[in-house]
């Protein structure tokens, strides 16, 4: 699902006639569909935050294991490079397989080489 832009759409309700609501079943369905789209967008944002947090945990853990004198005791620069690269790979894999998997599937199904 792709949300390209967000805008306000005005809604004019007609007056009640014979104590009947002017809101149709179609309007209720559109409203529920809009809420569903918003929930999907919020869920994707939440997962993105979780992946980012996992990258921080991976980075700190690897840095500790490599640079702490009680562990491997490597120099800080080498340890930090390895820790950062590992965290980036972690985030890439989680983003690709968990957050953007629907987009990856859409691209592979519709991609072609044009000459």
* Model pLDDT, residue 111: 54
* Model pLDDT, residue 2: 62
* Model pLDDT, residue 109: 55
* Model pLDDT, residue 96: 85
88-115 tens-digit pLDDT = 999 999 888 887 777 766 665 555 555 4
Where does the pLDDT of residue 82 fall: very low under 50, low under 70, confident under 90, or very high at 90 and above?
Answer: very high
28-78 tens-digit pLDDT = 888 888 888 887 777 777 888 888 889 999 999 999 999 988 999 899 899
* Model pLDDT, residue 88: 95
DSSP assignments along the chain, one per residue: ------------PPPPBTTB-S--HHHHHHHHHHHHHHHHHHHHHHHHHHHHHHHHHHHHHHHHHHH-TTTT---HHHHHHHHHHHHHHHHHHHIIIIISHHHHHHHHHH-----
């Amino acid at each position: 699902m792709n949300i390209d832009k967000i805008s306000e759409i005005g809604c004019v309700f007609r007056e009640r006639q014979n104590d009947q609501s002017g809101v149709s079943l179609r309007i209720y369905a559109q409203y529920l569909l809009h809420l569903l789209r918003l929930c999907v967008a919020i869920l994707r944002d939440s997962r993105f935050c979780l992946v980012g947090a996992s990258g921080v945990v991976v980075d700190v853990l690897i840095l500790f294991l490599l640079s702490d004198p009680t562990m491997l005791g490597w120099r800080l620069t080498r340890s930090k490079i390895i820790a950062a690269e590992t965290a980036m790979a972690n985030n890439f894999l989680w983003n690709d397989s968990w957050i953007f998997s629907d987009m990856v599937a859409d691209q592979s199904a519709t991609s072609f080489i044009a000459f």
